[in-house]
Structure 1
């Protein structure tokens, strides 16, 4: 059981690294796109970096956490506990 959780942690770390790299690429793409239409001001750059990068990390990070929860066995623990409670009541 411990090796399953270690593998899940390893996969989760790898997913976070890929997500962070994708976030950086998305920010670069967004800044490039914005530069096509006019000069980039510091406030525009900071807002773009914050908005695009944080949104990417948040959205993808929540999906990664859901996959980690399933792979590490946490979801199964909850399912087992819920089934025991249902059986005791019935």
Structure 2
């Protein structure tokens, strides 16, 4: 945390205002905030499962919109807390 304070005091102040469970992996009690796996390849395979036969441009577009939706959903969820 000291390194963060030296690099970005504003960021450290923001982190201080939020519970450790919200922004640290080691303090979240194993919940991972709705993420079912820590394995990156499992996560990506899960994303691409429904579009494997599509052209690459469609896969890239689907990945963009799905990721965008995840961020928006998590943003709204965090704002409610």
| TM-score normalised by L of structure 2 | 0.46
More helix by share: 1
Whose RCO is larger (CA < 8 A, sep 6+)? 1
| TM-score normalised by L of structure 1 | 0.43
